[in-house]
A and B are shown apart, each in its own frame.
Chain A
Amino acid sequence: MYVYILKRVLAAIPVMGFVALFVFLLLRLTPGDPAAIIAGDTATPEQLEAIRTSLGLNDPLAVQFFNWISQLLRGDFGTSILSGKPVIELIADRMEPTISLALTTIILSVLIAVPLGVIAAWKQGTLIDRFVMLLSVLGFSVPVFVIGYLMISLFSMQLGWFPVQGFRPIGDGVGDFFHRIALPTFTLTLLYIALIARITRTSMLEILGDDYVRTARAKGLPETRVLMHHALRNCSVPIITVIGIGFALIISGVVVTESVFNLPGLGRLTVDAVLSRDYPVIQAVILLASLIYVVINLLIDIAYVLLDPRIRYARPIKPPPSPRLTASPRSCAPARSSFPARS
């Protein structure tokens, strides 16, 4: 098992290397002179030269890359062109709102979506199932900003239950934190409930037809035990995958939601940086997002091992074992690819 985890960690290193190379080349290979892009239209030749020297643009590419990587490894992500502050500080400031929103959204979604999906699969074809599916279609198809403004209009303007906008760190008081993060969470959670409920339902439907579910029933077990212990545990792998990827997506930027509710998160930092061509910030944000994806994928892989003993003990017992024993868990691939690319 430790060998498996070690292999996964080692495999993540080249991935991050490629991402770093890509991000590095992004600035260097953009058409035109990066210094000119950075300096803007009104810069004098002396200013351009100064920027070139400070960025090391006169060195060979390999040397530049090496210097840049070693800076990164020392935690130096450069300085924002727009604000003049170190990039690392900018990002650190924006992390808390984003991570808070991601956590509240995912936790709430899982708590609601998994039971919904299980019940929908169990009662396949009934009114309950159709209601869950309808909810899921709505969650997928109604744009986040529409839901956001509807929530504000209903809960803030008319009922006055929640503030319209803004964010309070959890350190300033738990009550206030939840009071302010509630609406953005509700807004975003609809999409994730739709997604997770759907995946849960699909995997459960597949598993409920399996022989061991019939065995569990033949043992005279209560239906809740059959569903939760025998069926749900066996579809935890695709569900965990979707939850993990969903979490990574929120962290790497929920631009619309953050804009609607005026949350000072990473999404808005990214948009601002792109609009003002703040390359050091863009680079750092891409690197960070990639790192988050890699780490979460790593955690998902480790979760597989914990949840499915067939992966834990996977070693060649017989020459060509049945494909179901060794193949990576079912239904993961569609889960990843069907993820909507907007929030």
Chain B
Amino acid sequence: MSLLEIKNLRIALNGDEDKQVVKGLDLSIEPGQTMCLVGESGSGKSLSALATMGLLPSVLKPIAGSIKLKGENLLEADAARMRSLRAVSMSMIFQEPMTALNPVARVGQQIEEVLEFHSDLSQSRRRTRVKEMMEAVHLPDVDKMYESFPHQLSGGQRQRIMIAMALVMRPQLLIADEPTTALDVTTQAQILSLIRELREDQGAAVLFITHDMGVVSEIADDVTVLKLGEVMETQSVDALLRHPRTDYTRALLRAVPSHVPRMARAAQSDNVVLSTNDLCKTYGGGGFFGKGREVKAAQDVSISITKGRTLGIVGESGSGKTTVARCIMRLIDPTSGTIMVGGTDIATMSQKELKPQRKNIQIVFQDPMRSLNPRIEVGQSIIEGPLNFGVSRDKAMARARELLELVGLPASAVDRFPHQFSGGQRQRIAIARALAMDPDVLVADEAVSALDVSVQAQVLDLLAELQERLGLGILFITHDLGVAAQICDDVLVMQHGRVVEYGPAAQVLGSPQQDYTKALIKAAPGRHWDFANFRPFSDAAE
């Protein structure tokens, strides 16, 4: 008998049969096995997991099917029975470890709470057990860590706490909902290996939800692919990656950015559109009561981008890559160094002097949901910039229509509001808005990180196409080495505010010289697979 067996699960909004968000999911997991549930946003993968835990938001109701854990149908269990199963027989970890932990309770107590309600252990025994578990997830200095609050820990440590909390009662089923998506690659690699290790130690089955094929190739035994609530296919991981049965899975795999850096294109010109020299940004230092702690967010960053080329800045969170982008945009003031945009140093200009320079350099932000004003029409958002530079409204609006078509949207979109568009479409609008100023340089700060992989591929193609047509210089900030490999001519690797390595993409990503770059590349999930060609790289080499 399977440990978890989901049959024909249907979940609908308000229990309305016409509004199904999960349409007949079948899934089974054997003990000790890892099943990956893969799909893009809206595929219903998280909802299926929440239904298993009995934690669906109240507007969503399972209307058909069964979820059997060791033969017991969870959809028929009452609230008290579900409570007694949670944490004991099945538990769940979530995507965002910062928000998933109670910010005002000590992490040790948050783990201990599970034992308090699900075991008869005395307080001192509970505490010992919690510390053992914290050691099992490789947390350092557990005595001190026990007393810590979530905000004092790093993202990886918080996720380890979550895992300790989920596994402290040794449940047979662990549901992991995108547990590494919010983490850096090196931390992600550690958490994945921790989950593998604990699965073996505790003999638990894992239902692993992810959108990342790289992660799938690292951790899955079997894979179920979901699209808009429907199962596309279920196969063992090797079979799926080599011989996908459906067009959807093939398209999904083809969209995964390859880790093989593209060959540098021939320089279009030696016209430098953006360069910095020894750019530094230091936070803190001042302070009313004595000297605060200084944080060197960026140190001695020197870059140069010529017309029509793309420089990628890659690094983990806290590496200073976004700080550099913001300094270059003068959204924050650099502490020292120069920023040359088209031959003018803008590093020390006043806001007033800066204004005419602004049109030369434009930015696209990470989250398209939040970077467009929800209350004004798309057209107004796009023409706002040109209007400030004295372009007439009619002319600006005509240009806005052209730009929307250029980024692959209908010209009529000018009259609509941002919420009427999908994430990928909004990012196209944000790009159109940046282009409305006819900039020489486009800064893209994690501009594709919030998008599904197929949409991400489209936006990357769009950027490449626009660059070719308009001769833009692009500064591309990303944490994703695959994305960097796909679109960058040059790559700069940052760590702790310092430049680790800087050179042509093929050289930095293909044969890295620095240990940190090597570690980053080694940690990237799925680097052994050539997803787009349905084979591992080792096969390709033969």
Contact = CB atoms under 8 A, between A and B. Distances in A.
A322 B154 CA distance: 13
B371 interface: no
B318 interface: yes
Contacts of A74: none
A234 B114 contact: no
A211 B94 contact: yes
A315 B152 CA distance: 10
B284 interface: yes
B152 A313 contact: yes
Contact of B100 (A3, A211, A310): A211
B295 A214 contact: no
Contact of A220 (B86, B96, B152, B297): B86
Contacts of B318: 318-319
A222 B152 CA distance: 28
Contacts of A137: none
Interface residues of A, number: 32
Contact of B151 (A214, A309, A319): A309
B49 to A, nearest CB: 10
Contacts of B132: none
Q: Is the interface of B mostly helix, strand, loop or mixed?
A: mixed
Interface in A210-232: 210-212, 214-222, 225, 229-230
Contacts of A317: 152
Given A221-B83, A318-B295, A319-B323, A233 B104 contact: yes
Nearest to B57: A209
Given A212-B103, A319-B283, A219 B94 contact: no
A313 B147 CA distance: 13
Contact of A212 (B88, B99, B295, B323): B99
Given A212-B102, A316-B284, A220 B88 contact: yes
Given A313-B149, A313-B152, A322-B98, A218 B53 contact: yes
B83 A218 contact: no
B100 A212 contact: yes
A341 interface: no
B96 A211 contact: yes
Contact of B104 (A220, A309, A325): A309
Contacts of B105: 229-230, 233
B483 interface: no
Contacts of B162: 215
Interface in A188-225: 210-212, 214-222, 225
Nearest to A314: B151
A308 interface: yes
Interface string B144-174: 0000010110000000001001000000000
A214 B94 contact: yes
B363 interface: no
Interface residues of B, number: 39
Contact of A219 (B99, B113, B152, B289): B113
Max count, chain B CB within 10 A of own CB: residue among A7, A220, A221, A308: A220
A285 to B, nearest CB: 34
A320 B283 CA distance: 9
Contacts of B295: 316, 318-319
B102 to A, nearest CB: 4
A225 B109 CA distance: 13
Contact of B85 (A220, A225, A318, A322): A220
Interface string B268-299: 00000000000000011000010011010100
B113 A221 contact: yes
Nearest to A315: B293
A250 B106 CA distance: 37
Contacts of A325: 151
Contacts of A215: 94, 100-102, 162, 165
A214 B87 CA distance: 13
A45 B114 CA distance: 83
Contacts of B103: 212, 234, 308-310
Interface in B236-287: 283-284
B470 interface: no
A219 B53 CA distance: 10
A260 interface: no
Contacts of B96: 211
A210 B104 CA distance: 13
Nearest to A3: B289
B169 to A, nearest CB: 9
B149 A220 contact: no
B100 A214 contact: yes
A319 B297 contact: yes
Interface string B288-330: 0100110101000000000000000000001000010000000
B91 A216 contact: no
Given A234-B103, A234-B104, A319-B295, A218 B98 contact: no
Nearest to B79: A223
Contact of B83 (A222, A307, A313, A320): A222
A210 B149 CA distance: 17
B84 A220 contact: yes
Contacts of B118: 220
Contacts of B84: 220
A229 B292 CA distance: 35
A217 B102 contact: no
B92 interface: yes
B117 A211 contact: no
The 7 closest A-B pairs by CB, nearest first: A220-B86, A211-B99, A319-B297, A212-B102, A309-B149, A220-B87, A211-B100
23 contacts: A211-B94, A211-B96, A211-B100, A214-B100, A217-B55, A217-B86, A219-B114, A220-B82, A220-B83, A220-B84, A220-B87, A220-B114, A220-B117, A222-B117, A230-B105, A234-B102, A234-B103, A307-B104, A309-B151, A316-B283, A316-B284, A319-B318, A325-B151
Interface of B: 53, 55, 82-88, 91-92, 94, 96, 98-105, 113-114, 117-118, 149, 151-152, 162, 165, 283-284, 289, 292-293, 295, 297, 318, 323
